[in-house]
Structure 1
């Protein structure tokens, strides 16, 4: 195999000179002196053993071989640019920081397995998790504080893309010793007269729950309120009452809290990925987003 005895600087000098049709214009474009540029082209011709350019006092023209070689030279330089771009993209993918905003139930029960897989694939990428209520997640994505979000609100926001990820049902969380712990289902209307733990009006879940409760013949009473579902679950665990919660918020293997599906009506919410329509994710943010989708599919 014949060894290439010229460098990319000489190849670039030839391509720019051929395109400009002038050593002076090419030298200006490459920030070189005209003699220095001419020497580069001459070294390339010597290495190839062929004349590529015909020189006159005012003009530079390609020889027939030079015309053919110009196409190959351009392709080589373009290929190098693409290779450098790919390497740069890989470096960006492997190093950097991603910020994802999500509701607490996602942060506690869906995200850990995702981040474990992501850390194995991209060990140099730092991840900042903003675990907030649904309204704060929405605002963080809209303001650009988070690369993307995971929540159950935002589908009506025109500035956002909402890509559905999964649906989850509302269940009744209760202590394992409760008389209802072994039941197959519990009707919402049966909650009247029971001691309930609820999320506060600061939680996006409260709107869902209030809409259901408003249709019941008798309104259940919340004896305790917490800003987040995790706080409500802690009170249920302490035996202070029962709580209507989204299923994802409770691990199936929780040792001190059981869940029973709520019926009449069945109530579901859709979790989705939130992203600003005018924002293109960085390679590392896109990789994390893809990992969330893939992990959910294989879970």
Structure 2
């Protein structure tokens, strides 16, 4: 059955007139008759009886009429709901973001998104980088916000900005006497790091190894917030993405520019390379680009950087 056939039948059934049904539907009488005949053939019997003077419903036609009207109503409802999703009058999107991004950049993106599309529901998973990558790769979320994933051919990455790592030191540290600190200076203090398989830990170790330096640990733990709290308590020093500077200050530690070697890592959008985003998710991508572009001090990476 097609909507055209159902509309032809219901119009004749409600008006009991082929002529009036033709006027209502703006169809020719041969086209109307063909639509009803095709419907009757598909169902297996007549729905209408027609004489030169009148049109009547057969018993089967009378039984089918309310169901046909419901089918048309359902058809219109489904079509309208899909149109609303395409026009972002309604919808739902799920994203994942590493905590440093979720706590510092994502609120601005979601604020702008809600202003543009207030009727779209957004679910956010604030999880560590490795889980962001896993959730996008397995299709649990459409978009992830985090560092560029390594060795994931199924994923696509679009950088939004380059984030330098900063040193984290206690509030009373003598290192705060200078505006920046080198790795050589930092490694003279007890170092606190995230446990493996943290991508941040791996990046730090690889960057230091490339300069012939070794990371010797005093403490390690799973959560970056815990690392910062340990530093604030005077147990040692650490490093973190500059995205975390607001969190560092809130937890009572201090951050410093870090050099020799400088560690920088792209932060951006992670999606599946083989899947098209929903309209709602595509809109989040557009808002993220705009929001980062207009943020004070943000820097979009140049091609080839």
Residue of structure 2 in register with 1:189 after alignment: 184
Instruction: Answer with 228-237 or 246-255: which moved more.
Output: 246-255
State the distance in 2 between where 1:109 and 1:237 align: 20
Over 3 Å counting, the alpha-carbon distance change for 1:33 and 1:238 in structure 2 is farther
Structure 2 portions without partners, runs of 5+: 1-18, 41-46, 55-75, 296-305
State the distance in 2 between where 1:117 and 1:103 align: 19
How far 1:120 sits from its partner (Å)?
2.8
Structure 1 portions without partners, runs of 5+: 1-5, 40-80
Over 3 Å counting, the alpha-carbon distance change for 1:12 and 1:234 in structure 2 is farther
Residue 88 of structure 2 aligns to a residue whose secondary structure is: helix
Select 1:277's aligned residue among 255, 268, 273.
273
Q: Say if 2:282 is the partner of 1:286.
A: yes
Q: How does 1:190-269 map to 2 (within 5 A)?
A: 190-216=185-211, 219-251=214-246, 254=249, 256-269=252-265
State the distance in 2 between where 1:186 and 1:286 align: 41
How far 1:225 sits from its partner (Å)?
1.4
1:217-269 per-position Cα deviation (integer Å, ceiling 9, x unaligned): 55342222122322211222222221111111222892532222221221100
State the distance in 1 between where 2:141 and 2:217 align: 34
Aligned CA-pair RMSD: 3.3
Residue of structure 1 in register with 2:162 after alignment: 167
How far 1:206 sits from its partner (Å)?
0.9
How many equivalent pairs are there? 246
Kept after mapping to 2: 8 A contact 1:236/1:242: yes
Kept after mapping to 2: 8 A contact 1:104/1:228: no
The two structures have a TM-score, normalised by structure 1, of: 0.70
Residue of structure 2 in register with 1:143 after alignment: 138
